[in-house]
A and B are shown apart, each in its own frame.
Chain A
Amino acid sequence: MRWLQSKVVLILGILVLVYTFVPISVVVVMSFNKLPSEQSKIYRFNQFTLDNWLHPCTDPSMCQALGRSIEIGLLATLGATILGTLAAFALVRHSFVGRSSTNVLIFLPMAAPEIVMGSSLLALFVSAGFAGQLGFTTILIAHIMFCLSFVIVTVRSRLAGLSDTLEQAAMDLYATPQQTFWKVTFPLVFPGILGAALLSFSLSFDDFIITNLNAGNTTTFPMYVWGVSRKTIPMQINVVGTVMLIVSVLIVVGGEVRNRRRTRALAGPSPARRDSVVAAAGARSSAGGLEAV
C-alpha cells in the first residue's frame, strides 16, 4: 500500500504518456490496413496488408506533395539556420543598440497565433500584387520566417552556455581568429546548430495553417492530408506518419547514444543533454522567451 502511495504520481504520469501514444499506435496499425471498398467503413481496421508499405505512391499526388514538403523543409531549414545562427552569435557575442527590442522581435513569432501570422503574410502578398503568384516561393518565405526565431533561441542558449576560456586559450596559443572560430568555437556550438536545424525541418514539414493561407495552388504533404480528409483517405498517409515517427525517434536516440559515448570518453562534465532536448523540442516553451517581454 505504501509502495502504491509513493508510486501513484508516477503511475498517473505514465498513464498520461500512454494517452499521448494512443493515436500514434492507431497510425502505425492503420498503415497495415487494407482500404475497405465501402466508404462508410473507412475508419475501421479492415484487413492486414503490406501493400501500403510496398506501394507508397499509389496516389502519385501524395508522393509529389511529400517531395515538395521535403524540398521546402530542407530549403527553409538551410535559410533559417544560417540567418538564425549569425543572429545568435551577434546576440551573445556582440554589443549593439536596441537589444531589448530585438529580443521582443525574436520572441513574438513564437507566441503569435499561426492564423494571424499566416493571414498577415497573405495580406502583404496580396497588397504587393502577388495574389496570383502564391506558391513555392511564398511558402518558403513564410517557413524561414517562423523557423528563424526557434533557431535563434536554440543556438543562443547553446552559445550562452559556453564560456570563452577555450577560445582565449586558442588565441593565447597564436591561433588566428579564423582558426579559433573553425577549430574551437564552431565545433562546440555545432550540436546546438544541428538541433536547431532538426527543429526547423520538423516545424516546416508539419506546418499547415500558415502554409495553407500562402500556398496558392501548391500542395504540401499536410495540405494533401487536409484535402483527402473529406474524401477517401489513402492508408499510405499512415505509412508516412509512421516513417516520420521512426526517423525522429532514431535521431533522438542516436544523439543520446553519441552524447553518452562522448561523455564517457571525456569523463568530463556531461553537456546539458536534457536541457538540449527541452530546448530543441520546446523552444516555444523556453522560459527565456517570456522573460524577453
Chain B
Amino acid sequence: MSETVRRKGITGYILLAPAVVWLVAFFLIPFYSLLAASLFNSDGSDFRGYTMTYEWSNYWHAIQDYYPQFIRSLVYAGFATFFCLILGYVLAYAIAFKSGRWKNLMLVLVIAPFFTSFLVRTLSWKLILGNDGVVVNTLQFLHILGPNGHLLYTPFAVVMGLTYNFLPFMVLPLFASIDKIDYRLIEASNDLYANPVVGFFKVTWPLSLPGVVSGTLLTFIPAVGDYINDELLGSTQTRMIGNTIQSLFTEANDYPAASALSVILMLMIVVMVLFYVKRAGTEDLL
C-alpha cells in the first residue's frame, strides 16, 4: 500500500467542519451543560426554573443517597464483564483458530442475534428465566434451586442479561487480537513441551492482551450505565445507577441531582479507564 499524499489547503477543513461542529455542539458542549446543571439550586424545578448557585452539596447529597446503586452497578458490570471475557474468549479463539472455512459464517453468527431489537431480546429472557420456564424447572429438579426459588428479578438475572447483551463488544476485539497471533508460536510452545495450559498463559494470553483490554472496556463501560436489563429483569432491590439517573431526569424532574450523578459516573469511568489502561500498558494486568 503506497502512502497516500495528504493534500494541504483549505479543502480539508471544509470537509471536516460539519462533523466537528456537530460533535462539539451536541457532544462536547452538552458536557458543560451537564456540569452546570449539576450545580444548580436543588430546590428549583422545571416550572420555577433553575439558577446557578454553585450548589456543590448536590454532589454530596447524590453520593449519600445513591451510593448503593453506584456500588451495585460496578459489581454487576464487573461480573458481566468477567463472564463475557470467559465466554467471549472461548468463542473468539474458536473462530480465529479452529473454524477453518466457517470463519466468516461464524463471525456473522456472532453479530446476527444483535440485529434484533435490544429490548425485544431482553424481554425474551424474561420468558426463559420465568418461574414456569425450562431453566427454573430444571434447576428445581436438580435441587440447585429450592421449590420456591426463582431467577427472574434477582441480581443473577440482571448480570445474565448484561452478559448476554454486551457479548459481541467482547468477542469482536478479542477476535481481532487473537486472529493476528501467529499460530506457529503456539505450535512452537507445544514442541518445546509446554503443556497446553502453560502454553496458553505464556503465549496466547499475553499476545491477546490488547484485545482483552479493549474488549473489557467496551463491555464494562456500557454495562455500568445500562438500565434496560435491570428494569426488565431485576427488581427494586437491584436498581443500578442508570435507573436512578433516568428516573430522576424523566420522572422526578430533579435535574441537579440527576446531573450530579451523571457527572460522578463519568468521572468514575474516566479514572478507572486511565488506571486500567496504564496498568495494562505495563503488562501488569494479571
Chain A residues with a Cβ under 8 A of chain B: 7, 9-10, 12-14, 16-17, 19-24, 26-27, 30, 43-44, 83-84, 86-87, 89-96, 102, 105-106, 108-109, 111-117, 119-124, 126-127, 131, 141-142, 144-145, 148-149, 152, 161, 163-165, 202, 206, 208-209, 212-213, 221-222, 225-226, 229, 233, 237-238, 240-242, 244-245, 248-249, 252-253, 256, 273-274, 277-278, 281-282, 284-287, 289-290, 293
The CA of A124 and the CA of B35, in the complex, are separated in Å by 10
Interface centre among A87, A123, A206 (most CB of B within 10 A): A123
Given the complex, which residues of B lie within 8 Å of A27, measured CB to CB?
A: 116, 120-121, 124
Which chain B positions have C-beta within 8 A of A240? 117, 120
CB-CB under 8 A from B106, the residues of chain A are 13, 17
A-B complex: 8 closest residue pairs judged by Cβ atoms: A13-B94, A94-B12, A113-B225, A282-B172, A120-B30, A248-B115, A90-B15, A87-B19
Q: Mark B178-217, 1 if CB is under 8 A from A, else 0.
A: 0000000000000000000000000000000011011101
A253 to B181, CA, bound (A): 28
Structural contact, B15 and A225, CB atoms closer than 8 A? no
B119 within 8 A of A: yes
Minimum Cβ distance to chain B for residue A269 (Å): 12
> Are A285 and B176 neighbours in the complex by a CB distance under 8 Å?
yes
B221 proximity list for chain A (CB < 8 A): 111-113
* Contact across chains for B126 and A17 when beta carbons are under 8 A apart: no
Inter-chain CA distance A226–B126, complex, in Å, is: 13
With beta carbons under 8 angstroms apart, the residue of B9, B28, B255 that contacts A123 is: B255
A–B complex contacts, Cβ < 8 Å, 21 sampled: A10-B99, A17-B109, A24-B112, A86-B19, A102-B20, A112-B266, A116-B34, A126-B255, A161-B1, A163-B2, A163-B4, A208-B119, A238-B120, A244-B115, A245-B116, A256-B104, A273-B104, A285-B169, A285-B176, A285-B218, A286-B176
CA distance A222 to B97 in the complex (A): 37
Measured CB to CB, the nearest residue on chain B to A283 is B172
In the complex the two chains form, is B117's CB within 8 Å of A285's CB? no
Question: Considering only CB atoms and an 8 Å cut-off, how many residues of chain B contact the other chain?
Answer: 107
Chain A contacts of B30 at CB under 8 A? Answer: 117, 120-121, 123-124
Of residues 217 through 247 on chain B, the ones whose CB sits less than 8 Å from some CB of chain A are 217-218, 221-222, 224-228, 231-232, 242, 245-246
Question: How long is the Cα–Cα vector from A222 to B123 in the complex, in angstroms?
Answer: 11
Please pick, from A43, A145, A163, A213, the residue contacting B1 in the complex, using a CB distance under 8 A. Answer: A163
Mark interface residues in B129-157 (1 if CB within 8 Å of A CB, else 0): 01011000000000000000000000000
Chain A: minimal CB distance from B92 (Å): 8
* Residues of chain A with a CB closer than 8 A to B115's CB: 202, 244-245, 248-249
B37 within 8 A of partner (CB): yes
Min CB gap B90→A, angstroms: 5
User: Which residues of the other chain, A, contact B22 by a CB distance below 8 angstroms?
Assistant: 83, 144-145, 148
Evaluate contact between A222 and B108: CB separation under 8 angstroms. Answer: no
Contact indicator B117/A221 (Cβ below 8 Å): yes
Known contacts A17-B109, A96-B12; A123 and B168 CB within 8 A of each other? no
A126 with B37: CB separation less than 8 A: yes
B90 surroundings in chain A (CB, below 8 A): 9, 12-13, 16
- A266 shortest CB reach to chain B, Å: 18
Dominant secondary structure at the B interface: helix
Closest to B172 in A: A282
Asked if B23 is an interface residue, CB under 8 A from chain A, the answer is: yes
Among A26, A90, A115, A242, contact of B246 (Cβ-Cβ < 8 Å): A115
Q: Which residues of A contact B169 (CB under 8 A)?
A: 282, 284-285
B residues near A23, Cβ cutoff 8 Å: 113, 121-122, 124-125, 128, 164
Beta-carbon contact of A213 and B250 below 8 Å = yes
Q: Separation in Å of the B54 CB from the closest CB of chain A?
A: 15
Verify A233–B173 contact, CB threshold 8 A.
no
The distance from the CB of A191 to the nearest CB of chain B, in whole angstroms, is 16
A258 CB to closest chain B CB (Å) equals 14
- Give the Cβ gap from B23 to chain A, nearest Cβ, in Å: 5
Known contacts A9-B93, A145-B26, A281-B111: A206-B117 contact under CB 8 Å? yes
CB of B61 closer than 8 Å to a CB of A? no
- Residues A233 and B123 in contact, CB atoms below 8 Å apart: yes
**Using Cβ atoms and an 8 Å threshold, which residues of chain A touch B48?**
none
B107 CB contact (under 8 Å) in A91, A120, A144, A274: A274
Q: How far is the CA of A19 from the CA of B164 in the complex (A)?
A: 9
Q: Residues of A contacting B266 with CB < 8 Å?
A: 112-113, 116
Q: Provided the pairs A13-B90, A282-B168 are in contact, do residues A208 and B228 lie with their beta carbons within 8 angstroms?
A: yes
Q: Mark B1-34, 1 if CB is under 8 A from A, else 0.
A: 1101111110111011011101110111111011
- Tell me the nearest residue of chain A to B163, going by C-beta: A19
Tell me which residues across on chain B come within 8 A of A102, comparing CB atoms: 16, 20
Residues of A within 8 A of B31 (CB): 120
Q: Name which residue of chain A comes closest to B263, CB basis.
A: A116
Kindly report which residue of chain A lies nearest to residue B256, judged by CB atoms.
Answer: A123
Q: Is the CB of B27 within 8 A of A109?
A: yes
